[in-house]
Amino acid sequence: MRPMFQIRLERIRRLSASTLDFRFVKTDAAPLRYQPGQFFRFVFTDEEGEFERSYSLCNFDELYGQHLDLVISEVVDGRATRHLFNATEGMTAAVTGPFGRLVVPGTLPDRLVMVATSVGIAPYMPMLRQLEAPLSAGRLEVVLVFGMRDSSEFLYADQLLGLHQQYQDSGFSLLVCYSRESLDGRQAKQYEREGYVNGQFDALNFDPRQDHLLLCGNPAMVEDSWDYLREKGFKPAQVIREKYVFAKSGKPSAGTSDASKAMSDEHKRLVAEKMKKYQS
């Protein structure tokens, strides 16, 4: 059984119109144990009682200290959204974990491709920190394909552009894809693209003999990407998928990265409706 520990909200920052970044601190002295990329389950308490949601750790400044950094996007009528977006410093929660298989593989591939939409960038932040050593040694190629509606939603731009600048010659490529912003009429930056993340796939020439892929964020993007990669000959173990679907009520199924398995048909219908477009 995974340990449960208590946390206290220490800082809230706005990152974009619909996204906040939360820094929690553990209330005990033990350092955080997890593999970069994993998620935790958070038990919050509101006026209706306790409820649980999953969030990936987004730590970048400090990987294994006392802090847990989360990046959370607003969901209309969402219970966790209401609780967290109205929270003040000092709010407490209980946490279990870590969970999930979306991590850097034990044996590094020739090329590691990370695909994210919106807050699906969260697990890649600590992973990128972890990968700085092999990147600076030129031992690995990393491609990050990051989708968002427009440039105002480029989360952690400073950190990602900093990494890009530092490691672009030793193997780090960044592709930022805007689904609702045209690049016509302005000088596009070298890393900017129009369209969905999947629109970049043909140019990346994926090859199952050298590539390992990580997909995270919108369930429709994850499904479409996996369909594409399966056709290219990729096996499930080479494409680790994490869908950011909402938690079911009641007891969670332990340790699965594909939380959609836990959804009722009604929930599936709602998600399908709301997520027709990757970024809407």
Ligand X SMILES: Cc1cc2nc3c(=O)[nH]c(=O)nc-3n(C[C@H](O)[C@H](O)[C@H](O)COP(=O)(O)OP(=O)(O)OC[C@H]3O[C@@H](n4cnc5c(N)ncnc54)[C@H](O)[C@@H]3O)c2cc1C
Q: Which residues bind ligand X (CB under 6 A)?
A: 39, 53-56, 70-73, 75, 77-81, 119, 122, 242, 244-247, 259, 270-271, 274-275
CB of 173 to ligand X, least distance (A): 23
Would you list the DSSP string of 66-121?
SEEEEEEE--TT-HHHHHHHT--TT-EEEEEEEE-S-S--SS--SEEEEEEEGGGG
* CB nearer to ligand X: pick between 40 and 206: 40
Edge to edge, what strands does the sheet with 172-178 contain? 192-194, 172-178, 141-148, 111-117, 211-217, 239-243
Q: Which of 219, 269, 227, 215 is nearest to 244 (CA)?
A: 219
- Least distance CB 251 / ligand X (angstroms): 15
Q: Please report where in the chains the tokens 């998928």 appear, as a residue.
A: 241
Looking at the Cβ atoms of 22 and 167, the one nearer to ligand X is 22
205 CB neighbour count, 10 Å cutoff: 9
CB 2 within 8 A of CB 15: no
- Of 177 and 275, the one with the shorter C-beta distance to ligand X is 275
Nearest by Cα to 21 from 56, 65, 51: 56
Closest distance of CB 14 from ligand X, Å: 14
C-alpha count within 13 angstroms, C-beta hemisphere, residue 157? 14
Q: Quick one: 92 or 249, whose CB is closer to ligand X? A: 249
Minimum CB separation of residue 34 from ligand X in Å reads 13
Residue 69 or 141: which CB sits closer to ligand X? 69
Residue nearest to ligand X (CB): 78
Nearer to ligand X, 115 or 140 (CB): 115
Minimum CB–partner distance for residue 2 and ligand X (Å): 14
- Least distance (Å) between residue 172 CB and ligand X: 22
